[in-house]
């Protein structure tokens, strides 16, 4: 059997097996826009407006949710709860208010923001324009500085404000009148998710002109990669703060008096997570039996933590990889598909 890859003439691609779960479409969306919209059919407000009048935007929102969910699976691939899309697990997790709930909410809000912004840049007709970054005087704070020299802003930057606005319209507006603890925590984590993009926009500059003569120098604003957003939110997850209801009933505060008040970019939660060690339908836990672990790691993917101290057994797993690749003139790489046995460890 041959797998054929076409590669650009200039460079030869190194052929590797892609990460299987990263690009797979989610089979169940944490927030299913169709379901949400069905319930909102007769209501008013910004969310209902998107549902009823903006199918193009709704489509991008659904893609954004899937983007967030896929990233969640990548970031949690070695954790006891691996952000599975199985409804009977993630649904239970989302009904609570644990660290995991907070992470999923943040990454979904970020995913929608990201996808809507990206669609806008690509010129999809979703009611936006590209960001016109005319630097105003007295507004240096809001607009970043250009580098030294005769650089100017390109007319079109990534319109992150539009993405943030639509993410808010769809996710937040329906909670406007509520101030219970879970809602406050949820809204906080949505903001943290969006800021993981907004605070890390970068200025990218280019020279234009014949053979690098650089007669025109322009700069534009770009989002970080979504992997970077995911990595950052995973760090915030590891350092998330537990909060309790404040005295005024409209805010929360850190559980311990000595703990620093969480900032806008930090993730928060109000309930301890289950261990996810054993199967428990009520908690949406499948347990970690038969999960693959790494016996030389002390981290979350290590057999010690992942198997919850139950131990592990070595197994052999048959995997298919591209092998025996040859470069054919011109320009493709031809590979055989080989079966190799891989030694793995599985939790008992
Ligand atoms: C929502 O409905 C549209 C039209 O019926 C369909 O194309 C789309 O796949 C659905 N999206 C989801 C996430 O189920
Ligand atoms: C996630 O965990 C479930 C059960 O714990 C397991 O069946 C599934 O294979 C895991 N997914 C990945 C991508 O590791
Ligand atoms: C297992 O963990 C060790 C130590 O962290 C690491 O060097 C190694 O690459 C890991 N193995 C796999 C298969 O991920
Ligand atoms: C690699 O390709 C050569 C030539 O097609 C073939 O003779 C050889 O058996 C292949 N090796 C493997 C491991 O598939
Ligand atoms: C690899 O495994 C698959 C299914 O497990 C089998 O159909 C195929 O013939 C195997 N290929 C080789 C080269 O052994």
By DSSP bridging, strand 202-208 and strand 241-245 are unpaired
Least confident of 46-50, 198-202, 211-215, 344-348: 211-215
Written as one string, the DSSP assignment of 24-37 is SPPSS-SS-HHHHH
Would you state the pLDDT for residue 133? 58
- Give the pLDDT confidence of 54-99 residue by residue, as tens digits: 999 999 999 999 999 999 999 999 999 999 989 899 999 999 999 9
**251: CA distance to ligand 3 center in Å?**
43
Q: Which of 336, 337, 338, 340 has the most ligand 4 atoms within 8 A of CB, as the residue to mutate?
A: 336
The number of the ligand 2 atom at minimal distance from the alpha carbon of 287 is 5
Minimal-distance CA residue to ligand 1 atom 4: 34
**301: CA distance to ligand 3 center in Å?**
9
82: how many CB neighbours lie within 10 A of its CB?
20
- For the segment 102-119, the average pLDDT, to the nearest whole number, is 97
Written as one string, the DSSP assignment of 188-235 is HHHHHHHHHHHTT-EEEEEEESGGG--SEEEEEEEPPPHHHHHHHHHH
Residue with the larger pLDDT of the pair 87 and 191: 191
Least confident of 10-14, 155-159, 226-230: 10-14
Would you state the pLDDT for residue 41? 79
- Give the pLDDT confidence of 113-170 residue by residue, as tens digits: 999 999 999 888 898 887 765 555 445 556 677 878 788 888 778 899 999 999 999 9
- For the segment 36-63, the average pLDDT, to the nearest whole number, is 90
Q: Kindly report the average pLDDT of the chain as a whole number.
A: 87
Would you state the pLDDT for residue 141? 55
Would you state the pLDDT for residue 196? 98
- CA 63 – CA 60 distance, rounded (Å): 5
**190: CA distance to ligand 1 center in Å?**
24
**182: CA distance to ligand 1 center in Å?**
29
Instruction: Give the residue extent of every domain in the chain.
Output: 13-287
The number of the ligand 2 atom at minimal distance from the alpha carbon of 82 is 1
- Give the pLDDT confidence of 300-329 residue by residue, as tens digits: 999 999 999 999 999 998 999 989 898 887
The number of the ligand 3 atom at minimal distance from the alpha carbon of 298 is 5
């Amino acid at each position: 059997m041959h797998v054929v890859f076409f590669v650009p003439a200039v460079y030869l691609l190194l052929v590797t097996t892609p990460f299987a779960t990263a690009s797979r479409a989610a089979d169940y969306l944490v927030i299913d826009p169709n379901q949400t919209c069905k319930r909102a059919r007769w209501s008013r407000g910004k969310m209902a407006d998107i549902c009823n009048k903006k199918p193009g935007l709704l489509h991008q929102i659904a893609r954004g949710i899937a983007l967030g969910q896929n990233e969640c699976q990548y970031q949690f691939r070695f954790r006891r709860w691996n952000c599975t899309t199985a409804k009977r697990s993630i649904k239970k997790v989302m009904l609570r208010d644990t660290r995991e709930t907070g992470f999923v909410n943040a990454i979904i809000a970020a995913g929608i923001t990201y996808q809507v912004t990206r669609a806008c840049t690509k010129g999809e007709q979703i009611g936006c324009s590209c960001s016109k970054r005319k630097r105003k005087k007295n507004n240096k704070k809001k607009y970043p500085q250009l580098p030294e020299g005769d650089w100017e802003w390109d007319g079109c930057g990534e319109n992150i404000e539009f993405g943030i606005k639509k993410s808010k319209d769809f996710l937040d507006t329906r909670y406007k009148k509520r101030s219970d603890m879970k809602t406050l925590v949820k809204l906080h984590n949505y903001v943290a998710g969006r800021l993981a993009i907004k605070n890390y926009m970068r200025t990218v500059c280019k020279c234009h002109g014949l053979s690098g003569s650089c007669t025109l120098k322009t700069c534009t604003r770009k989002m970080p990669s979504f992997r970077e957003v995911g990595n950052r939110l995973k760090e915030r997850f590891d350092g998330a703060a537990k909060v309790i209801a404040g005295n005024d009933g409209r805010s929360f505060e850190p559980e311990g008096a000595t703990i620093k008040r969480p900032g806008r970019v930090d993730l928060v939660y109000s309930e301890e997570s289950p261990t996810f060690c054993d199967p428990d339908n009520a908690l949406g836990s499948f347990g970690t039996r038969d999960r693959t672990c790494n016996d030389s790691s002390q981290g979350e993917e290590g057999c010690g933590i992942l198997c919850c101290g139950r131990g592990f057994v070595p197994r052999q797993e048959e995997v298919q990889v591209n092998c025996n690749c040859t470069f054919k003139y011109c320009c493709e790489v031809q590979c055989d598909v080989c079966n190799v046995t891989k030694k793995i460890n599985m939790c008992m």
